[in-house]
Homo-oligomer: A and B are copies of this chain.
Amino acid sequence: MPELRKDPITGRWVIISTDRAKRPTDFVRESVQIKGKGFCPFCYGNEAKTPPEILAYGRNGGPRDSSGWTVRVVPNKFPALGIEGDLDREGEGLFDRMNGVGAHEVIVETPDHQSTLATMSEKALEEVLWAYRDRILDLKNDKRFRYILIFKNHGEAAGASLEHTHSQLIALPIVPKRVREEVDSGKHYYQEKERCIFCDIIRQEVESEVRVITENTQFIALAPYAPRFPFEIWLLPKQHGSAFENNPSPVFTSLARVLKDCLMRLDAVLDHPAYNYMLHTSPIGEESNEHFHWHIEIMPKLTKVAGFEWGTGFYICPTPPEESARFLREAQVGVEKT
């Protein structure tokens, strides 16, 4: 008999197939393979082909938009939102609109076209996290913005249009609905219990163990109780914190380690799947609170979302998270746990 499970944070119900649970090898998919053919605007020597850079690490004094960098941030050449202009809000009868003011940036994670976050060094991955942090802190000075989302599309099936590994950042003049729901739900729980719901979930998961994938002193990686997708992973700091960008340096070192660990496990168990991840940090102006707990959600792209999901906002997950967690936990990936 399948099971219906409710995510305690969003209130979203999902259907978990427990009878004919799908194993990793049951998913028909294409491995993400780096072909490295053709022109790449993110490789050394092609810096002039992107809009002028916003940030670069590692160049040690070389000129802007030259090679020698380790991580490079540039405006998206085809931005979803425009950075210029004031925010105009306007009604049109029943409808509300505003002009599309925002930032849309690309974080080129490494100059090496062949690397991925799973194969690069922990040190290099940590630099990517620092770039996330630096860009968030900088954009928070712009009073037009209410939220800054970092996300990554890895592989064509996950929506990546360039194969050279990169993340994206979008700064928005509103707090998006999904983040608002998480924050409001956390607030509601806190008002009732005076505890963070995420901290409570971590406590319960550590005790039951069945959905824990990996952990180190500062982070835990879980298969969520009511996942939308098979092999979905949530990465949470063990110690309560609302804002990713306000963490001290050792947290980024530790996060780099556990993020690389998780991505290596996905590669090992699912043969280099396409995936998306997104970083949920507290909205601008609400950075310091007891009710929201920043985290990263990683979703391998193994199934198709179809009419049922669009019609209901609720998902059918063919692999119970206890099974996903076991496969990912038992994967041999040789990462030290510190």
Interface residues of A (CB under 8 A from B): 1-6, 8, 11-13, 15-18, 20, 78, 80-82, 85, 93-101, 149, 151-153, 158-160, 168, 170, 172-174, 176-179, 181, 197, 200-201, 204, 208, 225-226, 276-280, 297, 299, 304-308, 310-314, 316
| Complex contacts, A16 vs chain B, CB 8 Å | 100
User: Are A304 and B95 in touch, CB under 8 angstroms?
Assistant: no
User: Are B17 and A97 in touch, CB under 8 angstroms?
Assistant: no
User: Are B225 and A149 in touch, CB under 8 angstroms?
Assistant: no
The listed residue (B96, B297, B306) touching A8 by CB distance below 8 A is: B96
User: Are B307 and A174 in touch, CB under 8 angstroms?
Assistant: no
User: Are B80 and A307 in touch, CB under 8 angstroms?
Assistant: no
| Complex contacts, A310 vs chain B, CB 8 Å | 151, 276, 278, 297, 299
| Complex contacts, A158 vs chain B, CB 8 Å | 306-307
| Complex contacts, A98 vs chain B, CB 8 Å | 3-4
Number of copies: 2
Are A97 and B4 also in contact (CB < 8 A) when A17-B80, A80-B17, A276-B306 are? yes
Closest CB in chain B relative to A76 CB, distance in Å: 11
The listed residue (B179, B208, B279, B312) touching A177 by CB distance below 8 A is: B312
- Output the residue of A152, A159, A177, A310 with the most chain B CB within 10 A: A310
Closest CB in chain B relative to A143 CB, distance in Å: 17
- Output the residue of A13, A16, A160 with the most chain B CB within 10 A: A13
Are A5 and B96 also in contact (CB < 8 A) when A174-B13, A299-B310, A312-B177 are? yes
| Complex contacts, A5 vs chain B, CB 8 Å | 95-97
Rounded to whole angstroms, the CA-CA distance of A276 and B8 in the bound complex is 29
User: Are B177 and A2 in touch, CB under 8 angstroms?
Assistant: no
Rounded to whole angstroms, the CA-CA distance of A98 and B78 in the bound complex is 45
Closest CB in chain B relative to A312 CB, distance in Å: 3
Nearest B residue (CB) for A176: B312
User: Are B81 and A311 in touch, CB under 8 angstroms?
Assistant: no
User: Are B93 and A204 in touch, CB under 8 angstroms?
Assistant: yes
Rounded to whole angstroms, the CA-CA distance of A236 and B159 in the bound complex is 32
